[in-house]
């Protein structure tokens, strides 16, 4: 069974030969390939080469175009700071939508140009080189994360209370942009689109259900209509919004280490495929192969076989190779409880 076949079978509830393996690697992949991260984020050829190298080295089932959250914002004209060996960052002190009225004049960016196009090219190159062996994952920002990128995190949190209609207008804009961004990635060969919406973990269930969930749902439904599956990735403590996350219909829901697998399973039901959720730093980077396999065994036991092996978030830079190998070994050798 190829990696792509394994993932697709798992998300469709079909038999698999072992647990799929889908850890997020960005800086770890760049370091393995021996390239500064600034170049990894700027050049799809370097990103694709590093992703293929890390997948081959550790036996991952997929490759991903994820690199940083500043692609869409950069193409909209936001102030982006670049670093030689760190991810590019959005300068929130000079937020593009510091003046809310700017939203009324903001055109949707063209995903065939700029940094967005570079991500599309990454999906195309990975699809060409991975063939049917590895699943190719595209990536877009979720409505809350993208709104925070454009407005500033603290300001957006105040907007929820001070100006709800503006938040709804901003979320509507971001979803339309991300739908337009997902489409060429899917056409380029991405069978799965990751939706990163980390900022959503900072709000409670009322604001999530009233504001974020409806727009995440629009984005997820649109990606499905284009023929791709969806992986929802919300970093942080999502315990209070887990039920809503499970209502989106995403094929895969990532869980950070702050969100217990057992609670997510109870909230989302037995069929939802869960991914994670070991602590990427204290368990994966700083642990031992034995402690990592034990932590993953606990996750698998709580999740059941509707489970994909990975960390709560990105594999950190500096993680010992033997620790990543332990994660891969667990995925390949862990007995499946049922099919």
Tell me the C-alpha to C-alpha distance, in Å, between residue 128 and each of 52, 109, 190, 258: 11, 26, 11, 37
pLDDT at 338: 59
Per-residue pLDDT of 292-302, as tens digits, reads 999 999 999 99
Q: Is residue 195 part of a domain?
A: yes
Number of domains in the chain: 1
Structural domain range at position 292: 3-333
Q: Is residue 93 part of a domain?
A: yes
In this structure, what CATH number is given to the domain that contains residue 40?
A: 3.20.20.210
Per-residue pLDDT of 198-215, as tens digits, reads 999 999 999 999 999 999
Residue 339 has pLDDT above 60, yes or no: no
Q: Is residue 339 part of a domain?
A: no
Peptide bond into 277 cis (omega under 30): yes
pLDDT at 216: 98
Average pLDDT over the chain, rounded to an integer: 97
Q: Is residue 249 part of a domain?
A: yes
Q: Is residue 242 part of a domain?
A: yes
Per-residue pLDDT of 281-319, as tens digits, reads 999 999 999 999 999 999 999 999 999 999 999 999 999
Residue 116 has pLDDT above 80, yes or no: yes
Task: Report which of 331, 256, 325, 317 is spatially closest to residue 289, judged by C-alpha positions.
Answer: 325
Q: Is residue 338 part of a domain?
A: no
Share of the chain above pLDDT 70, in %: 99
Per-residue pLDDT of 55-97, as tens digits, reads 999 999 999 999 999 999 999 999 999 999 999 999 999 999 9
Residue 337: band (very low, low, confident or very high) from pLDDT cuts 50, 70, 90:
confident
Per-residue pLDDT of 125-158, as tens digits, reads 999 999 999 999 999 999 999 999 999 999 999 9
């Amino acid at each position: 069974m190829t990696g792509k076949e394994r993932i697709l079978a798992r998300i469709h509830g079909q038999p698999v030969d072992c647990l799929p393996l889908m850890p997020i690697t960005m800086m770890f992949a760049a370091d393995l390939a021996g390239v500064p991260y600034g170049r990894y984020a700027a050049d799809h050829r370097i990103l694709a080469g590093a992703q293929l190298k890390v997948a081959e080295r550790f036996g991952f089932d997929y490759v991903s175009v994820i690199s940083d959250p500043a692609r869409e914002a950069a193409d909209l004209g936001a102030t982006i700071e670049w670093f030689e060996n760190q991810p590019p960052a959005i300068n929130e002190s000079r937020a593009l939508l510091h003046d809310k009225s700017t939203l009324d004049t903001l055109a949707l960016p063209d995903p065939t140009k700029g940094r967005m196009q570079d991500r599309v090219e990454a999906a195309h190159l990975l699809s060409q080189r991975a063939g049917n062996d590895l699943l190719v994952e595209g990536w877009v920002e979720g409505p809350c994360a993208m709104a925070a990128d454009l407005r500033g995190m603290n300001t957006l949190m105040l907007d929820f209370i001070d100006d709800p209609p503006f938040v709804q207008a901003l979320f509507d804009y971001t979803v339309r942009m991300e739908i337009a961004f997902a489409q060429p990635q899917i056409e380029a060969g991405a069978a799965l689109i990751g939706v990163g919406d980390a900022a959503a973990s900072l709000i409670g269930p009322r604001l999530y259900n009233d504001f974020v969930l409806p727009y995440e749902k629009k984005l997820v439904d649109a990606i499905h209509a284009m023929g791709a599956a969806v992986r929802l990735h919300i970093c942080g403590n999502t315990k209070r919004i887990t039920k809503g996350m499970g209502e989106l219909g995403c094929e895969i829901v990532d869980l950070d280490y702050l969100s217990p697998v057992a609670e997510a399973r109870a909230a989302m039901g037995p069929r939802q495929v869960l991914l994670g959720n070991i602590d990427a730093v204290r368990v994966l980077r700083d642990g031992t192969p034995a402690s990592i396999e034990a932590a993953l065994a606990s996750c698998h036991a709580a999740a059941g076989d509707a489970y994909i092996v990975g960390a709560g978030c990105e594999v950190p830079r500096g993680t010992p190779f033997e620790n990543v190998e332990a994660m891969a070994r667990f995925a390949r050798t862990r007995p499946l409880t049922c099919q």
